[in-house]
Structure 1
């Protein structure tokens, strides 16, 4: 080929590359400027989405992970329904879920400050750490039931480039705004869409616990402590291992990848196939009780093994635990009973330090009790039931205030159903002892 031919070839190649780059820029700007429903977003939304790229953009290449994140790949009834009581909410539906809308709506009736609202949204919408000025607008979208801003999208995780190395109030992640996206691969492919680089943090438990901070004893460590889970991290169970290509465009090229649906313990096989894990996971009750005059007194011990995982569900703030203590006579008649509740009410949530949950790996809770018996009763047995609920029960006034903010009877019926289902106690463990 002569010099003139080579020059023409170089110009042609340069033109192709320039065209592809312009096409990508045009596509991205169009994606920012117009939502899937055809509505043009407000300026503040476009400002956010220039950094926190919408996951629909990522879908163009990463369609497999997008479908997992959104719950589209496994269209089973449990994934189709929002607000599952077993706490298997998908990250990709975090803002659309009527559960989050209802809980946020009730909590907002307690008049949290703007800083407290930002603290709440910082894990549900990491964009607020970069754009704190838009907290109120994002909250309003969630409460409307038709959010356009994404909550936990692709960029929300893949813009994280560090976590705190000393225990600080959560969340502990750090977002790096920019074009660079971070991930676990040592050799990310070059492309015209975005630069990428490897970050070992993505293979550490401390990445997940920057928001799910109640799950481990030390949120600064990348490895889970204890012999049972030695060498295991959160991602090994909650991002089911598979093989393939993260872009779904590479044909035969395969390597280890993790699924992006982040499912919880609703997969019973995780417990059933490992009895040691099952034994360590579940709390156990011991009862130290004595008769004392016309009553019974003593201590209930709730023991959780060394597994650094609090059960149940991924929420570190809302969970409620109930310890029901009942004294019966030899015929099974109830002589006395009481229920002790552990967990924050709505007006205490995110006001000050977040306490450890009642059930936390490696801890023993000692709960003293003293009960007076019915006249003439002869105590024979004491029974203790440990249960949990996923959200606090709002008092009647607080519930009424939130329901009054909803515009239709259908919305109010949905909110009532969410509250009713999620405040229901579900048994964790039981113990009885003869007196």
Structure 2
């Protein structure tokens, strides 16, 4: 009898040791059982639950190629993200090290125990897992919009969710249509605001602005109508032709930016002083640009060409949200922000007039008035920009350093008396 009791006690101590060891493992990796999130380990390994999008390519070649060219496919790949992540991790509370992955790799919500791996994948400069790929969107069954940002809930199984009816029968997965995939609420899960943290004030405004009251949303045009425009094509290889959504998610890059604003101007010559009045109508149902990342900025540029087409005047106006850090100084990093120092973003559906005054060019029969709106290239602290330039495969030619044109107009104005 005593032998049985000793064996039972031994089993109890072994079990206790395993539990304590597991809790210690979680705590060491920045996770505590007291956190609100469910830290239970999913039954499937990460690669089984969220396979690489390359696997989807076999049957969905068109969609894969569009996605591969998108910003979403580079969610954890870009050099600016990797350098920003390292900067964040250097000062983040150990319990909040997964904050960036909440949107850049949303499946990390279900695989928090894999957080060290997510971080190592990014820091490797060649991640072998996707941040935002096919399953990261198409395994979302519902969205909890009671929190900000809303939280996606994944159903890990053999069913893929989407916006289409009557999907072709196949051996790879089942398909189910959900209205959610044609609603703005689906996109807002990652595009509304920074996830809350102990370091981020709740008073910081959302990124989108009052999008729910925009003309587009009220008229029934969700985010997808611009950022996933439909065209006649096949969803899967060999499937019947029908209207399908584009998966390149045009925005900063893509044709949709040409429809973002209407830009016009008038020029008045008043002797030695001239004036240009620029009218800008935003056709975008959200803040423009979205103020994330914190270096997002639009530039309205006025250039005046005088005699021999020489530029004699130039002035720029910036549309951006300028953030202030703990010391009150400007910062381009959301995770350092404590307040908004200045906000000149174009608001949803806003019309704005910019007045420029300048000396009238002398000894010239006419002048060229040129107004251009562009997405500005990456800007920020010198050491931040230098590190990105050094680590990016294309160096200073990396896409982050590119200026992207949105609108342009040029008019020749006579100066003859």
TM-score by length of 1: 0.57
Q: Contact 1:212–1:316 (CA<8 Å) still a contact in 2?
A: no
| Deviation for aligned residue 1:323 | 1.4
Counterpart CA distance in 2 for 1:56 and 1:432 is: 48
Gaps of 5+ in 1: 1-43, 83-87, 272-277, 407-411
| Deviation for aligned residue 1:339 | 1.9
Q: Secondary structure at the match of 1:145?
A: coil
Q: Residue in 1 aligned with 2:299? A: 322
Which residue among 129, 134, 154 is the counterpart of 1:176?
154
Which residue among 262, 267, 270 is the counterpart of 2:248?
262
Q: Residue in 1 aligned with 2:70? A: 89
Q: Residue in 2 aligned with 1:234? A: 225
Say yes or no: does 1:429 pair with 2:415: no
Alignment of 1:117-266 (within 5 A): 118-132=98-112, 134-135=114-115, 137-163=117-143, 165=145, 169-170=148-149, 172-179=150-157, 181-184=160-163, 197-211=176-190, 218=211, 224-226=217-219, 233-234=224-225, 237-238=228-229, 240-243=231-234, 256=242, 258=244, 261-262=247-248, 264=250
Instruction: Specify whether residues 126 and 288 from structure 1 end up closer, same or farther in structure 2 by C-alpha distance, changes over 3 A only.
Output: farther
Q: Residue in 2 aligned with 1:63? A: 58
| Deviation for aligned residue 1:156 | 0.8
Q: Residue in 2 aligned with 1:415? A: 395
Q: Residue in 2 aligned with 1:337? A: 314
| Deviation for aligned residue 1:159 | 2.6
Q: Deviations over 1:77-102 (max 9, x none)?
A: xx9xx8xxxxx426445445xxx2x2
Which residue among 370, 373, 377 is the counterpart of 1:387?
373
Counterpart CA distance in 1 for 2:105 and 2:215 is: 23
Counterpart CA distance in 1 for 2:243 and 2:277 is: 48
Q: Contact 1:325–1:337 (CA<8 Å) still a contact in 2?
A: yes
Counterpart CA distance in 1 for 2:409 and 2:361 is: 27
Instruction: Specify whether residues 364 and 223 from structure 1 end up closer, same or farther in structure 2 by C-alpha distance, changes over 3 A only.
Output: closer
Which residue among 45, 49, 53 is the counterpart of 2:46?
49
| Deviation for aligned residue 1:162 | 3.1
Counterpart CA distance in 2 for 1:49 and 1:210 is: 21
Counterpart CA distance in 1 for 2:162 and 2:301 is: 46
Say yes or no: does 1:304 pair with 2:282: yes
Instruction: Specify whether residues 312 and 399 from structure 1 end up closer, same or farther in structure 2 by C-alpha distance, changes over 3 A only.
Output: closer
Alignment of 1:15-54 (within 5 A): 49=46, 52-54=49-51
Q: Residue in 2 aligned with 1:348? A: 332
Instruction: Specify whether residues 242 and 376 from structure 1 end up closer, same or farther in structure 2 by C-alpha distance, changes over 3 A only.
Output: closer
Q: Contact 1:184–1:198 (CA<8 Å) still a contact in 2?
A: yes
Q: Contact 2:374–2:406 (CA<8 Å) still a contact in 1?
A: yes
Q: Residue in 2 aligned with 1:397? A: 383
Instruction: Specify whether residues 50 and 240 from structure 1 end up closer, same or farther in structure 2 by C-alpha distance, changes over 3 A only.
Output: same
Counterpart CA distance in 2 for 1:178 and 1:319 is: 35
| Deviation for aligned residue 1:211 | 3.7
| Deviation for aligned residue 1:151 | 1.4
Counterpart CA distance in 2 for 1:185 and 1:375 is: 59
| Deviation for aligned residue 1:147 | 0.6
Higher strand fraction (1 or 2):
2
Q: Secondary structure at the match of 1:283?
A: strand
Instruction: Specify whether residues 173 and 290 from structure 1 end up closer, same or farther in structure 2 by C-alpha distance, changes over 3 A only.
Output: farther
Aligned residues: 345
Q: Residue in 1 aligned with 2:30? A: none
Q: Contact 2:292–2:334 (CA<8 Å) still a contact in 1?
A: no
Q: Secondary structure at the match of 2:408?
A: strand
Instruction: Specify whether residues 254 and 70 from structure 1 end up closer, same or farther in structure 2 by C-alpha distance, changes over 3 A only.
Output: closer
TM-score by length of 2: 0.59
| Deviation for aligned residue 1:201 | 0.8
Q: Secondary structure at the match of 1:89?
A: coil
Counterpart CA distance in 2 for 1:267 and 1:400 is: 28
Counterpart CA distance in 2 for 1:291 and 1:120 is: 53
Q: Secondary structure at the match of 1:202?
A: helix
Q: Which moved more, 1:308-317 or 1:47-56?
A: 308-317
Counterpart CA distance in 1 for 2:262 and 2:268 is: 19
- The CA RMSD over aligned residues, in Å, is 5.3
Instruction: Specify whether residues 241 and 143 from structure 1 end up closer, same or farther in structure 2 by C-alpha distance, changes over 3 A only.
Output: farther
